[in-house]
A and B are shown apart, each in its own frame.
Chain A
Amino acid sequence: MKFIVQRQQLISSVQDVMKAISSRTAIPILTGMKIEANANGIILTGSDSDITIESFIPAEEDGMINVEQIEEGSVVLQARYFPDIVRKLPDNTVEIESDENFNITIKSGKAQFNLNGQDANEYPHLPNLQAENSFDIQSDLLKDLIKQTGFAVSAMETRPILTGVNITIENETLHFTATDSHRLASRRVPLEGVTSDSSNIVVPGKSLNELNKILDDTGEKVEISVMNNQILFRTKYLHFLSRLLDGNYPETSRLIPDQSQTVLHVRTKELINTIDRASLLAKEERNNVVKLTTKDNQLLQITSNSPEVGQVAEEISVQSLEGENLKISFSSKYMLDALKVIENDEVIIKFTGAMRPFVIQPADDDAILQLILPVRTY
């Protein structure tokens, strides 16, 4: 195998693929990165057996030559050293060559590295996903969906299914839901022209998080297909494959209250700032608790109190306040997480009582829903 590649192209491809490579893996060869060259270009592959990422560098793109002098072949090289080497090479182009003993030579300018490689035949074969059951989505929208829900997955393995994001398609609507059982985040978007029946899968939150890092928000097309316990996200030059989580995701829609006792309209930014200030005295090990109390004249009071430290109180005026008076305590962290992903100047918060979940939504968009369970102070 041999080729000469533009260094910048190689750097960004290597960075993407490294997201899937872990130094701690049960299968030793997976600590390496597979490089494959053919007439069309080169393919880099990394995998930790949960996630597999393939990045493709086309030999030629829009008349620009990325890869030249290609001699077909493949090899696996040690991923631990490769990214730093590529990043620090002196020239704009990099020549990579491997011989029949898997000895790899990397040349750039006057620098030359000789690395020990491994036989690419020993690298696990990726399942060849046939895109039978697939749909397209724009990358910027997909990134939004991930950002607005992925943070709410559970970090604990107590209920493994909750470490994933539940993705459903029903009635031409794509729906992302995540909950760690203390808060829930969901967003739906219309999906046109999907022929497939309803589907319901759970994708590990970690996978989506990595995918979000790799995807550009240029709005390019992402094809999503699901098969055999795997999900594949495919763009022109990237294949991102993740295993799915086994098990049934709990039915959450019926847990979302459909009535409300107290409804607030409030400016998002102001509320974020006020709660952020109050949380300065709220301690993490005590659930970051802040208290919200409704006052007369369209005022809210946000307070927090740590017996050893002191207390803070701040009033904030709201656009409107309807319904019963309320005193409720909740985690400032959950509240800030939820408010920050709502990219809207105004939010509506609907409460149904001090011990019941409350719902935060953008003022003019009910496709996004953030739900938070309050804390009970003893």
Chain B
Amino acid sequence: MSQWYPKKGRVIFHVDMNSFYASVEMAFDPKLKGKPLAIAGNPEERKGIVVTSSYEARAKGVKTTMQLWQARKLCPELIVLRPNFDRYRTASKEMFQMLAEITPYVQPVSIDEGYIDVTGTEQHGSPIEIAQNLQQKISSELDLPCSIGIAPNKFLAKMASDMKKPMGITILRKRDISDKLWPLPIEEMYGVGEKTAEKLRAVDINTIRDLANGDAYQLKRILGINGERLQNRANGIDVRPVDPDAVHEFKSIGSSQTLAEDTTDETAIRKLMHQLADNVERRMKRKQAAGQSVQIMIRYHDHKTITRSKKLPHFIENKDDILHFSNELFQKHWNLEPIRLLGITVQDVDEKKNLAKQLDLFTYEKEAGKEKLYEAMDELSQKYGNNIFKQLHNDDKDEEKPRTSFQKDFLDDFKK
């Protein structure tokens, strides 16, 4: 089988679940199949936007991030569901486990997509067979559709998985680039957002081909280092490895939310700050992490957005501390104009096992009470190695709350 694999170079899959949330709901309730379905954040409130929709809804013009009332106008028979993150998380975990059965080189990117490096897995068959079997398995066991891109690197694999949806398998080799990739308009390129596309179109770069053949100097001038990177990718060059640990690397943990209406009401603001600090604390606990900087984001009614941060002399992890420094920043930087959105992020975050906690004169008794326990743990760890202990949490029940955004925290769970 090894004739299928390049002598040097790699074979990388990008696995992309098709309209994941909607598909999970359909697998859960088959009656929904074939109907226009949208998952939306908060159907009642202004922030109710379409998070994802089924292909039937998309056929009517419903798009992700569209406001709910707009979507209903386009598609009056639209079925709208609130997100059930628990279901998605479970499905995602099982999907990643299937990937992990093929190779340990699995890099989850988000709840519904990931890269795997299948180089050296000849025992499972040719790349195309592996992809077919995987797609089949996900479909038969989870009742979920996915598209798979097969390519020599991550960028091309990502572009390939996008080319045929749903249930597509697309191979994108370097020699296919000029036919399959280059004709695409520039904004379809992964890594080119609205702003970047605008800048590129301004210098008459309209397709990926234009970018690939563009003037490197000019690109660097308008896009900086990213210009060079994008041009390389357009030429099919991407040296990033599939990194199974990438998902563990977190530098910041944050939470942000739009207010029901633009406000200067301090009670509403205070309440939201509490909520955000709560969310951040919960997520820090989940990750067993602590952080050393606090950042707040304020978006005003006119979309003007500021972020302000403060570096602390010590690590914090509790809601009280997070809230204290967030409020301090907020008081200092709020210009008293109506606020649309607030965010709190704890930065310079590290896992607590890498950190030490400086005890406090006025509260050390709490820790000291557990002294014997720590001593025993220390002794046992020396005897039997690290990781024999795990702290238990019961904070998962909170996760049922409907939210529009999704956190990747759990993505490292599929290995356990």
Contact = CB atoms under 8 A, between A and B. Distances in A.
Nearest to B321: A158
B359 A158 contact: no
A195 to B, nearest CB: 34
Given A156-B313, A355-B368, A355-B371, A375 B324 contact: no
A374 B370 CA distance: 14
Interface in A325-378: 327, 329, 331, 353-357, 371, 373-378
B357 A378 contact: yes
B359 A375 contact: yes
A183 B314 CA distance: 14
B361 A285 contact: no
Contacts of A377: 356-357
B238 interface: no
B interface, size bucket? 20 to 34
Contact of B359 (A156, A252, A373): A373
Interface in B341-368: 348, 352-362, 364, 367-368
Contacts of B362: 181, 250, 255
Interface residues of A, number: 31
A353 B371 contact: yes
A286 interface: yes
Contacts of B190: none
Contacts of A289: 356
B360 A378 contact: no
A158 B364 contact: no
A377 B315 CA distance: 13
B185 to A, nearest CB: 44
A307 B354 contact: yes
B266 interface: no
Contacts, number: 72
Nearest to B375: A354
A200 interface: no
A329 B360 contact: no
Given A289-B356, A355-B371, A179 B364 contact: no
Given A255-B362, A287-B356, A331-B358, A354 B313 contact: no
B359 A376 contact: yes
Interface core residue of A329, A353, A374 (most chain B CB under 10 Å): A374
Contacts of B355: 286-287, 378
A156 B360 CA distance: 14
Nearest to B360: A181
Nearest to B290: A378
B346 to A, nearest CB: 14
Dominant SS among interface residues on chain A: loop
Interface in A190-244: none
A163 to B, nearest CB: 13
A27 to B, nearest CB: 21
Contacts of A331: 358
A216 B222 CA distance: 60
A53 interface: no
Nearest to B352: A378
A292 to B, nearest CB: 14
Interface-central residue, A307, A331, A353, A378, by most chain B CB under 10 Å: A378
A65 interface: no
A184 interface: yes
Interface string A158-169: 100000000000
Given A182-B359, A287-B358, A376-B367, A355 B374 contact: yes
Nearest to B370: A355
Contacts of A285: 292, 348
A313 interface: no
A155 interface: yes
Interface string B377-416: 0100000000000000000000000000000000000000
B361 A184 contact: yes
Contact of B368 (A155, A327, A356): A356
B176 to A, nearest CB: 41
A329 B354 CA distance: 14
Contacts of A355: 359, 364, 367-368, 370-371, 374
B361 A357 contact: yes
Given A155-B313, A354-B374, A378-B355, A182 B368 contact: no
Contact of B361 (A327, A329, A373): A373
Interface in B263-299: 292
A378 B292 contact: no
Contact of A255 (B348, B353, B361): B361
B358 A373 contact: yes
B314 A287 contact: yes
B357 A376 contact: yes
A47 B278 CA distance: 44
Contacts of B371: 353-356
A210 B116 CA distance: 62
B324 A158 contact: yes
A114 to B, nearest CB: 41
Nearest to A179: B361
A141 B327 CA distance: 42
A179 B313 CA distance: 15
Nearest to A308: B354
A255 B365 CA distance: 10
B358 A375 contact: yes
Nearest to B364: A373
Q: Shortest 6 CB-CB distances between A and B: which pairs?
A: A375-B356, A355-B368, A373-B359, A378-B352, A355-B371, A289-B356
Given A285-B292, A355-B359, 8 more contacts: A327-B378, A353-B371, A356-B368, A357-B361, A371-B361, A375-B359, A376-B359, A376-B367
12 contacts: A156-B313, A252-B361, A255-B361, A285-B292, A331-B358, A357-B359, A357-B364, A373-B358, A373-B364, A375-B356, A376-B357, A377-B356
